[in-house]
Amino acid sequence: MTQPAGADRGMLPIPEAARLLAHLGFEVVHGDRPGETGGANLLVGLRATPTLETSLPVDGAYSWGTLRVIDRLEEMNTFMTFGGRLRVEALGPTLSIAVFASPGPIVRWSGHSQPIDALTGYVGAFFARLMIPIDFTPGAEALVATAPVLTLFAAFLADLQARFQAERQAEREVDVRAGEIARWAEREVTRLGTIAPGTLEQGLELLRGLALEPGA
């Protein structure tokens, strides 16, 4: 289904997730390439004898950071996300579907069956910067933990755009891949201005509250 430019895709319906996972263990839908805007979903099929330790369905928030999908052979694929909503639903005695939806990208980091996304290094660097005040500044962890997902994502976009702006002012040559990411960031800023006006300023306020200079 075609969506208007700048639309927020939201959470993929469980039946559609099940169709996409018919022959797969996991799949990233949108957001795993810099050219994709409008949020992302990470789909995970849980196929095994139920442990009965978790009551399904599950529907709630999940936090920013690292997601790891580990199969029964202990093969692992790792993703990074700005947080969002998680829904897990049992479709039968042998299959449950987990959908991690985010209004920001879900990027592939490492794994045995996936490449690393061009955006991953930028997201990882931003998360590493967040850890400095979290580790050393009282109240910083709570400030980040309570920030809405879109605010955290907006803080990343503000930081990313400031970084590219500094490179342009220094007249440094920007490679093709970085140029694509810069254009993606501009589109995402436009989208946030449409679906959640004021979010970019809230992201900047979050950075100021953490004493982080955008692009520094």
Output the CA–CA distances (angstroms, integers) from residue 22 to 45, 46, 164, in the order listed: 9, 12, 41
What local confidence, expressed as pLDDT, does residue 36 receive?
64
Alpha carbons 25 and 133: distance in angstroms, whole number: 36
**Sheet of strand 26-29: strand arrangement:** 26-29, 40-46, 96-102, 84-90, 58-62
What local confidence, expressed as pLDDT, does residue 50 receive?
47
Residues 6+ apart with CB under 8 A from 99: 11, 12, 14, 17, 41, 42, 43, 44, 86, 87, 88
DSSP 11: P
CA angle, corner 35, sides to 76 and 78, nearest 5?
10
DSSP 93-140: SS-EEEEEEESS-EEEEEESS-PPPTTHHHHHHHHHHHHHHHHHSTTH
Report the run of H or E that residue 88 belongs to, with start and end. strand 84-90
What local confidence, expressed as pLDDT, does residue 71 receive?
79
What local confidence, expressed as pLDDT, does residue 53 receive?
54
Reduced 3-state DSSP string for 20-55 = HCCCCCEEEECCCCCCCCCCEEEEEEECCCCCCCCC
Residue that has been written with the tokens 């139920």 in this structure: 50
3-state secondary structure of 66: strand
pLDDT, averaged per 10 consecutive residues of the chain (216 residues), comes to 53 90 82 65 76 73 93 87 95 89 93 86 97 95 96 97 85 76 94 95 97 90
